[in-house]
Structure 1
Amino acid sequence: MLFQIKSYLKFLWNSKNAHGVHSPFVFDLVTKCFYDKAKYPEYAILKNYRKSLLENKNFIEVKDFGAGSKVFKSNKRAIAKIAKTAGITVKRAELLFRVVRYFKPENVLEIGTSLGLATSAISLGNISSEITTLEGCPETAGIAQLQFQKNNFNVNSVITEFERYLKSLNPEPRTLNLIYFDGNHQKEATLSYFELLLHTATNNSVWIFDDIHWSKAMEEAWEIIKKHPKVTVTIDTFQWGFVFFRKEQQKENFVIRANDSKWLNAVLGLRKLYGLID
């Protein structure tokens, strides 16, 4: 926890809002998507999806294949508590919805379904997307599949070990317009998935890595990804790391406050005080 607090303070100190961004591509993304204040009707669907999980009193046996949980001490877990503590937050689900709505990806891969909270945001963001979501735990995937059916989400849910599935993908030309990495918060696994999926990336692909500041090792993985020669633009929003492969862009790394709230701007006051503001 102490590590993440220090990382967050460092993030706040170094971060910018839209006014500190000089790339037209990133500026548009931040102002038209990240800071979009519209009240979309899909938000109500996302909240109802979450509400149904929070009201679920059942327990499931969870198989952890990744870095494990910092909250749960046992693999027998209440569905409601998973949704409350381990699932994507309301604000993040809304942001993910806006990102998908903004880029309109045709083919999406999600690594780590969990209870499907993020999957629902992706599905609602572009109802015509072909979405494949991977989950290693059968019982967790089963709950998500029931939710997808209940909400008529067109999602291909696959129960599998992630690396085995990624290795099985045909290396022939195949594009994935958006990939959401949220299945294994370990350095080696993250870098392995990154390398295994590089052949699917196009000039317009959007990759989102969750929990890039989860640990020192995950920060190291993020730094390696940023320096990869095929990566041109990255955006660190603390919770997520966005990766782009746009050849027309000069290589540049941004640290952006995705939620430009007033309390975060207190850091700007300190930067102004010490003459560090852009």
Structure 2
Amino acid sequence: MNFFLAQEYFKYFHLKTDEHSLHSPFFYHFYLKLIKSSSISNDCKSIEENRAALLKDETEFVIKDLGAGSKVNQSKSRTVKSIARHSLSNPKFSQFLYRIIQHFNFESIIELGTSLGINTAYMAQANPDASVFTFEADPNALKIAREVNKEHKNINFHEGDIANSLPNMLQKSNPTIDLVYADANHTYQASVDYFNIILPHLTSGSIYIMDDIHWSAGMKKAWEELKERKEVTSSIDLFDAGLLFFNSDFKKQHHVLDF
């Protein structure tokens, strides 16, 4: 863990609370049922088998990274197992995404940063009737993600610079988006730009999840700015990720919660 991240975790550790601090019935139940739940669906067993295989894969390829890069490995040539180890969300977070989609029966999902496709699989599996639009700049990573998700027919893969492919897709399809999971190009400007591009397609019931909000000073700045936007009515900081809500019935509130 780098020094900035360590400092951020120290602050988070001393600020985080649990359900006893939540007065809103919505966030109280959201925390207990979706964040703190340890339930694991048997539907996800094959996905975790794919994760285990990726963590052993010695295949090496050159990374096409249009974002802030990795703080763990600056080499452009990496093995699949190295990418899986350092870039994939842990199973706990993947299952959290799965529970959110199932609980709200979300039907239109955007993932920014497909990587090797494990979270993509979880989101596609959570609701086979949903449409998952996933975006990845690296063609080699996307090739693996397609193989990992070959049984999921509800995924729309988009290759290329997200700054171009995302607005192109939204302009053509003009979808209403229920859930966004943004885990790409970990820079301040890209994080803000992605939010602004997607915002017109969100509704009062949408949830925007921003990964790695404490990863760098730039990511933290983006998170702090976005959660204060007038369109955002509430937020949750889980350290690894932040959640933005848009329901006008919510009282403006920002929660730092144990995960």
On the 8 A contact 1:234/1:253 being kept in 2, the answer is yes
Determine if contact 2:68/2:187 at 8 Å carries over to the other structure: yes
Q: 2:162 corresponds to which residue?
A: 162
- 1:124 aligns to 2:132 (yes or no): no
Q: How far apart, in 2, do the equivalents of 1:176 and 1:111 lie?
A: 13
Q: Is the 8 A contact 2:188 2:219 kept in 1?
A: yes
1:152 is aligned to 2:148 = no
Structure 2 partner of 1:39: 40
Shift of 1:56: 2.0
CA distance in structure 1 between the aligned counterparts of 2:50 and 2:95, rounded to whole angstroms: 13
Q: What is the count of residue pairs matched by the alignment?
A: 257
Q: 1:40 to 1:167 in 2, by over 3 A?
A: closer
| C-alpha displacement of 1:62 | 0.8
Distance 1:172 1:156 in 2: 12
**Is the CA contact 1:120–1:153 (under 8 Å) kept in the aligned structure 2?**
no
Once the two structures are overlaid, the 10-residue window that deviates more, 126-135 or 46-55, is 46-55
Q: CA deviation at 1:42?
A: 2.6
- 1:154 and 1:195 mapped to 2: Cα distance? 26
**Alignment pair present for 1:231 and 2:246:** no
Question: 2:118·2:148 contact (CA, 8 Å) conserved in 1?
Answer: no
Go from structure 1 to structure 2 and tell me whether the alpha carbon gap of 1:72 and 1:153 turns closer, same or farther (over 3 Å shift). farther
Q: Any gaps of 5 or more consecutive residues in structure 2?
A: none
2:81 alignment counterpart: 80
Separation in structure 2 between the aligned mates of residue 146 and residue 251 of structure 1, nearest angstrom: 42
Residue in structure 2 matched with residue 264 of structure 1 by the alignment: none
Aligned amino acid, residue 107 of structure 1: S
CA distance in 1, matches of 2:102, 2:167: 29
Rate the CA distance shift 1:174–1:7 in 2: closer, same or farther, 3 A. same
Aligned to 1:89: 90
In 2, the alpha carbon distance for the partners of 1:14 and 1:64 equals 34
Q: CA deviation at 1:127?
A: 1.7
For each residue in 1:66-106, what CA deviation from the matched residue of structure 2 results, as whole angstroms up to 9, or x when unmatched? 11011113111101111112111122112221222222210
Aligned to 1:268: none
Percentage of matched positions with identical amino acids: 31
Are the aligned partners of 1:173 and 1:199 in contact in 2 as well (CA < 8 Å)? no
CA offset at residue 188 of structure 1? Answer: 0.6
Deviations 1:103-142 (A, max 9, x none): 2210001000000111111112222110010000111101
Tell me if the contact between 2:137 and 2:159 (Cα under 8 Å) persists in the aligned partners.
yes
Query: How high is the TM-score relative to the length of structure 2?
Result: 0.95
1:207 aligns with 2:208: yes
Asked whether the equivalents of residues 148 and 154 of structure 1 are also in contact (C-alpha less than 8 Å), the reply is no
- TM-score for both structures, normalised by structure 1: 0.89
Partner of 2:241: 240
**Structure of higher CA gyration radius:** 1
- Distance across 2 between alignment mates of 1:93 and 1:38: 12
2:196 maps to 195
Return the alpha-carbon distance in structure 1 between the equivalents of residues 166 and 128 of structure 2. 24
Q: Given the superposition, is the C-alpha separation of residues 153 and 51 from structure 1 closer, same or farther in structure 2, using an over 3 Å criterion?
A: farther
Structure 1 unaligned segments of length 5 or more: list them. Answer: 259-278
Between stretches 189-198 and 166-175, larger displacement belongs to: 166-175
* Residue of structure 2 equivalent to 1:272: none
What is the alpha-carbon distance in structure 2 between the residues aligned to residue 28 and residue 160 of structure 1? 39
